Amino acid sequence: MIRMTNVSKKYPNGVTAIKDLSLTIESGEFAYIVGPSGAGKSTFIKMLYHQLRATSGKIEVAGFDLIGMKDRDVPYLRRKIGVVFQDFKLLPRLTVFENVAYAMEVIEAQPQAIKDRVLEVLELVGLKGEIRRFPNELSGGEQQRVAVARAIVNQPEVLIADEPTGNLDPETSDGIMDILEAINQRGTIVLMATHNKQMVNERTHRVLAIEDGRLVRDEKEGDYGYED
């Protein structure tokens, strides 16, 4: 479960990116986060896995109270959350395989289990042939898929994806969405920021619209909702 109560986030440069935002996402939900560029979607997401500390308010994720959390507990929160970062954040010195495996190694999984599972998820995102490559030897879309693979490899309680299909063609995007929905079926919360109007409209889920740091819309079976 994710619960935010009156959360605000002000960056050191004075920008208030999230303003008094409250919402609850129950276990097993799938929610889109939509909104214009610079609305605060990524800021919102970064607070959930404690990359950013909220300036005020309360945040609760997967049983952790994120306000007043000790630094040393943060890794244990993050192990319950899979994240696809908007800028991928792959480790440049590790191969595709090692990047995905790293997320399993930190929880000290068995080597054989790591190997099997990593190959499995890499196959799922269509990168089984590229396991020995380094991130800078991949196309943008391929890097994004590695990021997706890493996020799901530990079968997290919460999956947070910041535009996981921004660099992907519609077909591959659909493949990724299939994966995310399948994970969601198994009870994982999936939270996904996206600009993909068509996808939001066709695969209906809860829609959270953020504009200028405020939650302006929250619909159970919503649509993208912005005209062009």
Partner 1 sequence: MKTRTLKRHLNDSFKSLKRNGWMSVAAVSAVTVTLLLVGIFFAMIFNFNKISQDIENDVHVRVMIERGTTSKQKDQLQKKLEKIAAVKDVTYSSRKKELNKVVGSYGQSFKMFTGDDNPLYDVYTVSTTKPSQTIKVAKHAKQLKYVYDATYGGNNAKKLFKVMSSVRKWGIGFTLLLLFVAVFLISNTIRITILSRRDEIGIMRLVGATNAYIRWPFLFEGAWVGLLGVIIPIIIIDVGYGWVYRHMALSMASAGYSMLKPGIFLFQLDLTMAVIGIVIGALGSVISMRRFLRI
Ligand X SMILES: Nc1ncnc2c1ncn2[C@@H]1O[C@H](COP(=O)(O)OP(=O)(O)OP(=O)(O)O)[C@@H](O)[C@H]1O
Among positions 4, 34, 42, 153, the unique one binding ligand X when judged by CB under 6 A: 42
Q: Is 188 in the site for Mg ion (CB under 5 A)?
A: no
Give pairs for 64-72: CB < 8 Å, separation 24+. Answer: none
Among positions 69, 109, 128, 141, the unique one binding ligand X when judged by CB under 6 A: 141
Measured torsion, CA atoms of residues 79, 134, 176, 43, in degrees rounded to the nearest 10:
50
Q: Is 225 in the site for a second copy (CB under 8 A)?
A: no
Query: Could you please report the per-residue DSSP string of 165-181?
Result: TTTS-HHHHHHHHHHHH
Token output for 160: 């947070």
Among positions 11, 56, 65, 91, the unique one binding partner 1 when judged by CB under 8 A: 91
Pick the piece of the chain touching a second copy (CB under 8 A) from 52-60, 74-82, 165-173, 183-191: 165-173
Q: Which helix (H) or strand (E) holds 144?
A: helix 140-152
Token output for 36: 């214009």
Among positions 73, 105, 120, 137, the unique one binding ligand X when judged by CB under 6 A: 137
Contact 194, 210 (CB under 8 A): no
Size of interface with a second copy, in residues (CB under 8 A): 41
Sheet containing 30-34: order of strands: 81-84, 158-162, 189-193, 30-34, 206-211, 214-219
Q: Which helix (H) or strand (E) holds 2?
A: strand 2-10
What span, in angstroms and rounded, lies between the C-alpha atoms of 70 and 58? Answer: 15
Q: Which is nearer to partner 1, 81 or 199 (CB)?
A: 81
List, in order, residues 6 or more apart from 129 with CB less than 8 Å away.
Answer: none
Q: Is 117 in the site for partner 1 (CB under 8 A)?
A: no
Among positions 2, 7, 17, 153, the unique one binding ligand X when judged by CB under 6 A: 17
Q: Which is nearer to a second copy, 145 or 205 (CB)?
A: 145
Q: Is 53 in the site for partner 1 (CB under 8 A)?
A: yes
Q: Is 142 in the site for ligand X (CB under 6 A)?
A: yes
Q: Is 90 in the site for partner 1 (CB under 8 A)?
A: yes
Token output for 209: 């619209």
Residues found near partner 1 in the complex (CB under 8 A): 49-51, 53, 71-72, 74-76, 78-79, 83, 85, 89-94, 102-103, 105-108, 111, 150, 154
Residues found near a second copy in the complex (CB under 8 A): 11, 13, 15, 34-39, 41-43, 86-87, 133, 137-142, 144-145, 162-163, 166-174, 195, 197-198, 224, 226-228
Residues found near ligand X in the complex (CB under 6 A): 11, 13, 15, 17, 35, 37-43, 86, 136-142, 167
